[in-house]
């Protein structure tokens, strides 16, 4: 038997989930639990799950399947996050060794749920979605010593026809600006140089307090906190991506030179069917705000291919949009039908081979765009935050303000530990997904 009050957690999905796990870990540690590195060594095994596409959802059931034989040997399994919210108590039927099923809107009740588990209750749930609460806890255990996430808004009030998120994360709830600012100042005092503001739709942020800040104001104020050198935010919805945001970024270079603005499709007809609340031209007008701004901004996006009814002509519109915008990176996905969503009932499903073909074409086009754009940077000197080390290659891994990975060597062999440092690096080579360079910064 492994010691009680040991836990293991594996996280799937987006940064919101990654940050939720940091809060869950902090809450468990505050209750006297110890984190262990393998599920075998743990008494409590938690999976913080993602259900954005079917493949993500299946992962947790594969993991749980590996432990069926543990039924009854005292280990306690918990499913957290989006699959938990979506499947609810059905998980107990499908995986009878699971004792806890809780969605992210219930994590403020985690201490109570732990008490129930500790008392031997084997059917503990947290599945309420109608909430005004955010999981706003001081007990966060942050993984990265240099970059810290801050949740500013949870949930989603949009209703994109393909998306489970409104069903798994509940209605939109913003944190007060006072609470966000207090956390930003605390993190700066603790030495975090980079802050990443998180939300399903960060730019729909609306301060619920009397101060009533909008997202652009919050961005500007966080960037002014002493000690903070970089501020990023993700994810933005194009409909709410207003000029004031670009103006705030233009005014203060602490706000990083990067915007992730998921377009999903280049066809106005498909955007309408997806209920995205903007047309192709409206999206391109948002891009124009960035292209005519005071600094060059890196723009990245998400694309779904094979949404029901997507014709070859619609698809060509997406390819044309990629040519026009010249994104710096792109995440592309085959449409995956999800429970509860409006698109489930839509006719004219695109066959899987056709989705696969379109996906390959998108990825190939984007690859050549990135090869060309990255090659243009050879010779430039860029500031990086050093995030890691590749011992095998003798390289340090840095990230530029516009979110490119720049792997580099340092001319001074005395440069022993550069992690967390900001250095100037000259770009010497480029590939489709990263840059390579040399730093001569004094260390
Ligand atoms: N099928 C495929 N991709 C999806 N995404 C969201 N829902 C689906 C789905 N049902 C993609 C979108 C979103 C990203 C996080 O995942 O592109 O921006
Ligand atoms: Fe996955 Fe979406 Fe849930 Fe994030 S919010 S974990 S992407 S389903």
Read off the CATH number of the domain in which 207 is found: 3.80.30.20
138 lies in a domain? no
Closest CA to 251 of 293, 291, 211: 293
CB of 307 shorter than 6 A to ligand 1: no
**pLDDT classification of 443: cutoffs 50, 70, 90:** low
Helix (H) or strand (E) holding 325: helix 312-325
* pLDDT of 71 over the 60 cut: no
CB-based contact 169:82 (threshold 8 Å): yes
User: Where is average pLDDT lowest: 60-69, 179-188, 378-387?
Assistant: 60-69
Question: Which ligand lies nearest the alpha carbon of 52?
Answer: 2
pLDDT band at residue 45 under the 50/70/90 scheme: very high
Residues 91 and 196 occupy one common structural domain: no
Pocket of ligand 2 contains residue 400 by CB under 6 Å: no
**199 CB under 6 A from ligand 2?**
no
- What is the CA(177)–ligand 1 centre distance, in A? 29
Residue pLDDT, tens place only, 229-243: 999 999 999 999 999
State residue 193's pLDDT score: 95
Determine the Cα angle at 134 with ends 232 and 118, to 5°. Answer: 120
For residue 13 and ligand 2, the question of a CB distance below 6 A is answered with: yes
Spatial separation of the C-alpha atoms in residues 255 and 218, rounded to whole Å: 11
Q: Which domain holds residue 157?
A: 147-375
Whether residue 136 is contained in a domain is answered as: no
Same domain? 111 vs 213: no
Strand, helix or coil for residue 10: strand
Residue 324: predicted pLDDT: 98
CB 203 less than 6 A from any atom of ligand 2: no
- Do 61 and 182 meet the contact criterion of CB atoms below 8 Å apart? no
364 and 425, same domain (yes or no): no
Same domain, 106 and 90: yes
Q: What CATH number is attached to the domain comprising 432? A: 2.40.50.140
pLDDT of residue 171: 94
User: Residue 423 above 90 pLDDT?
Assistant: yes
CB of 113 closer than 6 A to ligand 2? no
Q: How far apart are CA 127 and CA 390, in angstroms?
A: 42
Residue 435 · residue 403 · CB < 8 Å: no
CATH of the domain at 63: 3.40.50.12160
Residue whose tokens read 């600094």: 295
Residue-wise pLDDT for 101-151, tens only, equals 999 999 999 999 999 999 999 999 999 998 888 998 989 999 888 999 999
Helix (H, G, I), strand (E, B) or coil at 230: strand
Domain closes at, from 95, 126, 157: 126
Instruction: Give yes or no: residues 81 and 198 share one domain.
Output: no
Two structure tokens written together for 441: 């910064």
Q: Which residues are within 8 A (CB) of 137 and not within 5 positions of it... i.e. 6 or more apart?
A: 23, 26, 27, 108
Q: Are residues 224 and 366 in the same domain?
A: yes
User: What residues contact residue 192 under an 8 Å CB cut-off, 6+ apart?
Assistant: 142, 145, 146, 147, 148, 228
Paired tokens of 304: 């779904």
Residue 441 pLDDT > 90: no
User: Does the beta carbon of 164 sit less than 6 angstroms from any atom of ligand 2?
Assistant: yes
287 shares its domain with 165: yes
2 — pLDDT class (breaks 50, 70, 90): confident
Ligand closest to the CA atom of residue 331: 1
Closest CA to 401 of 374, 422, 426, 378: 422
Helix (H) or strand (E) holding 217: helix 215-223
Q: Ligand 1 mean position to 100 CA, how many Å? A: 27
Tell me, yes or no, if the pTM score tops 0.85.
yes
- Are both 414 and 363 inside the same structural domain? no
Percent of the chain with pLDDT over 70: 98
Is the domain of 75 the same as that of 177?
no
pLDDT score of 98 more than 80: yes
pLDDT digits (tens, 9 = 90+) for 327-380: 999 999 999 999 999 999 999 999 999 999 999 999 999 999 999 999 999 999
Within a domain: 44: yes
User: Are residues 172 and 116 part of one domain?
Assistant: no
Question: In the predicted model, what is the mean pLDDT of the chain?
Answer: 95
Q: For residues 394 and 407, give the distance between their C-alpha atoms in angstroms, rounded to a whole number.
A: 10
Which of 258, 196, 198 shows the shortest CA–CA distance to 228? 196
Residue 388: inside a domain: yes
pLDDT one-digit tens code per residue, 281-310: 999 999 999 999 999 999 999 999 999 999
Place 67 in a pLDDT band, splitting at 50, 70 and 90. confident
Q: What is the mean pLDDT of residues 82-92?
A: 97
Same domain, residue pair 265 and 335? yes
Per-residue pLDDT, 132: 87
Structure tokens of 410?
């340092």
Does residue 141 belong to any structural domain of this protein? no
The residue whose C-alpha atom lies closest to atom 6 belonging to ligand 2 is 50
Q: 137 in a domain, yes or no?
A: no
Please return the burial class of 410, using the count of CB atoms within 10 Å of its CB with bins 0-12, 13-18 and 19+. buried
Is 307 contained in some domain? yes
**Rounded Cα gap, residues 75 and 57, in angstroms:** 22
What distance in angstroms lies between residue 13's CA and the mean position of ligand 1's atoms?
11
Q: Which of 328, 359, 375 is a domain's end point?
A: 375
The answer to whether residues 305 and 350 belong to one domain is: yes
pLDDT digits (tens, 9 = 90+) for 10-25: 999 999 999 999 999 9
Cβ-based burial of 404 (10 A; exposed 0-12, middle 13-18, buried ≥19): buried
Cα 235 from Cα 217, distance rounded (Å): 17
* SS3 assignment, position 415: coil
What is the whole-number distance in angstroms between the Cα of residue 394 and the centre of ligand 2?
35
Count of domains observed in the chain: 3
Q: Does 64 reside within a domain?
A: yes
Q: Which of 56, 91, 126 is the last residue of a domain?
A: 126
């Amino acid at each position: 038997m492994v010691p009680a009050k040991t836990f293991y957690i594996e996280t799937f999905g987006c940064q919101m989930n990654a940050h939720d796990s940091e809060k869950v870990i902090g809450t468990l540690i505050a209750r006297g639990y110890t984190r262990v590195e393998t599920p075998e060594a743990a008494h409590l095994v938690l999976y913080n799950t993602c259900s954005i596409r079917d493949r993500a959802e299946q992962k947790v059931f594969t993991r749980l399947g590996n432990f069926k034989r543990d039924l009854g040997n005292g280990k306690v399994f918990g499913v957290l996050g989006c699959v938990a919210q979506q499947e609810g108590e059905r998980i107990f039927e499908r995986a009878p060794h699971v004792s806890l099923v809780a969605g992210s809107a219930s994590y403020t009740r985690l201490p109570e749920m732990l008490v129930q588990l500790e008392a031997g209750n084997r059917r503990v749930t947290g599945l309420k979605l109608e909430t005004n609460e955010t999981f706003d806890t001081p007990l966060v255990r942050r993984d990265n010593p240099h970059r810290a996430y801050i949740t500013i808004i949870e949930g989603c009030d949009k209703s994109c026809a393909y998306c489970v998120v409104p069903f798994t994360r509940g209605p939109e709830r913003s944190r007060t600006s006072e609470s966000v600012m207090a956390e930003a100042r605390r993190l700066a005092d603790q030495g975090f140089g980079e802050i990443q503001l998180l939300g399903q739709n960060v730019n729909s942020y609306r301060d619920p307090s009397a101060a009533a800040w909008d997202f652009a104001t919050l961005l500007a104020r966080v960037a002014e906190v002493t000690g903070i050198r970089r501020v990023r935010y993700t994810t933005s919805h194009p409909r709410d991506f207003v000029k004031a945001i670009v103006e705030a970024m233009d005014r203060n270079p602490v706000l990083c030179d990067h915007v992730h603005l998921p377009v999903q499709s280049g066809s106005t007809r498909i955007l309408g069917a997806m209920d995205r609340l903007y047309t192709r031209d409206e999206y391109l007008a948002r891009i124009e705000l960035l292209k005519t701004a005071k600094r060059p901004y890196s723009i990245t996006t998400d694309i779904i291919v094979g949404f029901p009814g997507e014709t070859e002509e619609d698809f060509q519109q997406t390819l044309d949009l990629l040519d026009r915008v010249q994104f710096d990176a792109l995440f592309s996905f085959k449409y995956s039908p999800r429970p509860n969503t409006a698109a489930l009932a839509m006719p004219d499903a695109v066959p899987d081979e056709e989705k696969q073909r379109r996906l390959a074409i998108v990825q190939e086009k984007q690859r050549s765009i990135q090869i060309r754009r990255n090659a243009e940077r050879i010779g430039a000197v860029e500031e990086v935050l050093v995030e890691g080390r590749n011992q095998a290659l003798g390289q340090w891994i840095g990230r530029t303000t516009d979110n490119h990975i720049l792997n580099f060597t340092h001319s001074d062999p005395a440069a022993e530990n550069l992690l967390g440092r900001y250095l100037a690096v000259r770009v010497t080579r480029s590939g489709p997904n990263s840059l390579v360079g040399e730093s001569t910064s004094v260390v």
